[in-house]
Homo-oligomer: A and B are copies of this chain.
Amino acid sequence: MKRIMLLTAYDGTQYHGFQVQPNLRTVEGVLNQTLSELLKEEIIVIGASRTDTGVHAEGNVAVFDTETKIPPEKIALALNQRLPEDLVIQKSIEVPINFHPRHTNCRKTYEYRIYNHVVPNPLLRRDTYFYYRPLDVSAMQEAASFLVGTKDFSSFCAAGTQVVDKVRTIDCLEVKRKGDLITIQITGNGFLYNMVRIITGTLILVGIHTIIPEDMKKIIQAEDRKMAGPTAPAKGLVLKKIQYEEAELSLEKSHL
C-alpha cells in the first residue's frame, strides 16, 4: 500500500465544485471514477481544497492509497489519457502514508481575475469576472495592505459557516493591472468559506470609490459579514498553488 499525491489543474466551469455530490459532476467524482477504472481497485481521493462550483485550479492537491505497481510518477500520464480535457494531472508522486492534505500545514495561493473593460472579452468569459466600471487599482492595493497579517477574518467569511476560529494569516496580497486585466493574488495559511471572493468584492467597492481604503480597518474590526462587500463570482477565482511545509514534498510543476 502506498499513498500517491496528485497535483491537479481544472477548468471549473463544468464542475459542481471539487467535493463529491450525488448525481452531479464534480472533480472528486471524476477522479474517483477514473482512478478506480485505471487501477482496478476502488479509489477515493482526499482533496486539499474543496473548491466551489465554477472555481478553477492550477495546483489543487489530492491524495489516494493504492496497491498498484504502476510507478507513482507514471500515474499522471496514464490518468491524463482517460480524463476529460477540462481536468489535467500536472504531476503524481508518492508521499508518506500518513500525509493528509488538509491536516498538514500549508500556504495556499489564490488568484482572482477581473476583466475591467467597457465590453466583455469572449476569450476570457470563463475565467475572469467582467466588470465594466473603471477600477482604481492603486486604491485597491492600498486597501489590500490592511488585510495582510494575522487577523480575525469573520467579516470576510460567508454567513452561517460553522468554523469557530476565524483567525487566519494573509502573507501576501497584491492587486495589479495589466491592460484591461486586474489580478488579485493572495497567499495565506488557510482561508475561510468564500474569503477570497468576499475580499475581492470589498476591494471592488474601494476600486469604484464607494468606500475608501481606510474603511478596511473598520470592516475587519466589526467581525461582521454584513460590513464587507458582496461575494465576487466564482468564475474569476483560480487556486494557483499549495505549498506544504514538509521539505520532502516537491509540488512545483515541472517546467521545461
List residues of A whose CB falls within 8 A of some B CB.
9-11, 56, 58, 76, 80, 85-91, 116-123, 125-127, 134-135, 180, 238, 253-256
Contact B122 A254 (CB under 8 A): no
Given A11-B125, A125-B11, decide whether A119 and B88 contact each other with a Cβ distance below 8 A: yes
Contact A122 B10 (CB under 8 A): yes
Contact A122 B255 (CB under 8 A): no
- Residues on B with C-beta less than 8 A from A253 are 117
- Residues on B with C-beta less than 8 A from A119 are 9, 76, 80, 88-91
Which applies to chain A's interface (DSSP): helix, strand, loop or mixed? loop
In the complex, A165→B255 CA distance in Å? 44
- Residues on B with C-beta less than 8 A from A11 are 122-123, 125
In the complex, A9→B123 CA distance in Å? 8
Closest to A179 in B: B255
Q: Please state the number of chain copies in the assembly.
A: 2
Listed from nearest, the 6 A-B pairs whose CB atoms lie closest are: A134-B256, A11-B122, A86-B122, A88-B122, A11-B123, A123-B127
- Residues on B with C-beta less than 8 A from A91 are 119
Show 16 A/B contacts (Cβ-Cβ < 8 Å), sorted by A.
A9-B119, A9-B123, A11-B122, A58-B123, A76-B119, A80-B119, A85-B120, A85-B125, A86-B122, A86-B125, A87-B122, A89-B119, A118-B256, A123-B127, A135-B256, A180-B256
Q: Could you say which of A10, A134, A253 has the most chain B C-beta atoms within 10 Å of its C-beta? A: A253
- Residues on B with C-beta less than 8 A from A126 are 123
Smallest Cβ distance from A63 to chain B, in angstroms? 19
Q: Could you say which of A76, A86, A123, A253 has the most chain B C-beta atoms within 10 Å of its C-beta? A: A123
- Residues on B with C-beta less than 8 A from A120 are 80, 85, 88
Contact A117 B85 (CB under 8 A): no
Contact A255 B117 (CB under 8 A): yes
Q: Which listed residue (B9, B135, B254) contacts A121, Cβ 8 A?
A: B9
In the complex, A91→B118 CA distance in Å? 10
In the complex, A120→B58 CA distance in Å? 11
- Residues on B with C-beta less than 8 A from A134 are 256
In the complex, A120→B88 CA distance in Å? 7
In the complex, A118→B254 CA distance in Å? 7
Closest to A125 in B: B85
